[in-house]
Amino acid sequence: MLPLAARWLVSSDRSEGYRWDSTKDTAFAIFGLIDYVKVSSDLSPSYDLEVYLNGETVLAERVSDASAGQSFTVNRKGGAVGDTNHIRVVKRGKGSIYLSSSIDYYTDDENVSAHGSADLNVTREYLRLKVEPEGYQLKWSTSPLTGEIRSGDLIVVKLHLTGKKARHLMLEDPIPSGAEQVESIGNMYLNSSSTNWTDWYSAREFRDRRTVFFLDYFDGNATFQYAMRVQVPGQFRVAPARAELMYRPTTQANTASGRMSFLERK
């Protein structure tokens, strides 16, 4: 029964072909498979492997080392990708082969449309942020982002998530190349400690090209905001914001791409 159990564990029970449902499930699966390969012949393979795509050989090699797992990529452009594509794997010799595959599509379109579903949807809105002194404190207010945008202006990015309740969600929002995220202004921190600023999140990271929110639990309706300051004048494309369930990456959504124009400060 052991070979059948191992085969099921690495084929039927994996999500997306290369992962289990969570890091904990992955750890326990690997613990079990390590014990299995110790008493099986999988550590001593001796076979020839051939992989065909639409009749064309894309991989052909001799496999004699179980530790030499590898990945390879087959690139196809435009008309070379058919409506139906056939993959055939041939093994000649002794030993077990464990193989998974994934397919990625890329487009050169400059404009990306929004995509979402009832399970998960995300929208993005830009607002103008105004900060004014009030006694010994600072207060902030937002208004629609209209008119000219110049170096030094503050912008609020508002991200709204809707969908089914879920665990372990990641929300990524690329920033325009001419702007940088701002965490605080004077004695005012632009984060969840301010009333009505943003919903709860597990962690937030300001990276060079994007802002990332992590949620351990998503209740089905949440809004997240952060501020950025315009620095470099120019014309910029803004990549879509994207949300996904980290252990169910097929459940994902994205906003449309956009464009922003920044002017020099007068």
pLDDT in tens, 61-112: 898 887 767 788 888 887 777 788 899 999 999 888 877 777 777 777 889 9
| Confidence at residue 187, expressed as pLDDT on a 0 to 100 scale | 64
Section 222-248 average pLDDT = 93
| Confidence at residue 196, expressed as pLDDT on a 0 to 100 scale | 61
Q: What is the 3-state secondary structure (H, E, C) of the chain?
A: CHHHHHHHHHHCCCECCCECCCHHHHHHHHHHHHHHHHHCCCCCCEEEEEEEECCEEEEEEEECCCCCCCCCCCCCCHHHCCCCCCEEEEEEEECCCCCCCCCCCCCCCCCCCCECCCCEEEEEEEEEEEEEEECCEEEEEEEECCCCCECCCEEEEEEEEEECCEEEEEEEEECCCCEEEECEECCEECCCCCCCCCCCCCEEEECCCEEEEEEEEECCEEEEEEEEEECCCEEEEECCCEEEECCEEEEEEECCCEEEEEECCC
pLDDT tens, residue by residue, 122-174: 999 999 998 888 777 778 888 999 999 999 999 999 999 999 999 999 999 99
User: Could you tell me if 257 and 111 are in contact, meaning their C-beta atoms sit under 8 angstroms apart?
Assistant: yes
Please identify, in words, the CATH class of the domain defined by 120-262: mainly beta
Dmax over CA atoms of the chain, in Å, equals: 81
Q: Is residue 263 pLDDT above 90, yes or no?
A: yes
User: Of residues 217 and 70, which shows the higher confidence score?
Assistant: 217
CA 35 – CA 41 distance, rounded (Å): 12
| Confidence at residue 213, expressed as pLDDT on a 0 to 100 scale | 96
Q: Is residue 228 pLDDT above 90, yes or no?
A: yes
Section 255-265 average pLDDT = 95
Q: Which of 38, 32, 88, 85 is nearest to 58 (CA)?
A: 88
What is the rounded average pLDDT for all residues in the chain? Answer: 87
211 burial via Cβ count (<10 Å: 0-12, 13-18, 19+): buried
**Confidence category of residue 11, pLDDT binned at 50, 70, 90:** confident
Q: Which of 218, 203, 121, 114 is nearest to 160 (CA)?
A: 121
What are the tokens at 151? 């170096």
pLDDT tens, residue by residue, 180-201: 999 887 666 766 545 566 778 9
CB under 8 Å to 19, separation ≥6 — which residues? Answer: 26, 247
Q: Which of 246, 198, 189 is nearest to 181 (CA)?
A: 189
Distance of CA 19 to the CA centre of its chain: 15
Region of poorest pLDDT, from 48-52, 133-137, 211-215, 227-231: 133-137
Domain segments of the chain as ranges: 2-94, 120-262
**Confidence category of residue 41, pLDDT binned at 50, 70, 90:** confident
| Confidence at residue 200, expressed as pLDDT on a 0 to 100 scale | 85
Q: Is residue 252 pLDDT above 60, yes or no?
A: yes
Region of poorest pLDDT, from 93-102, 139-148, 217-226, 238-247: 93-102
| Confidence at residue 229, expressed as pLDDT on a 0 to 100 scale | 95
Model pTM? Answer: 0.73
| Confidence at residue 208, expressed as pLDDT on a 0 to 100 scale | 94
User: Could you tell me if 173 and 156 are in contact, meaning their C-beta atoms sit under 8 angstroms apart?
Assistant: no
| Confidence at residue 153, expressed as pLDDT on a 0 to 100 scale | 95
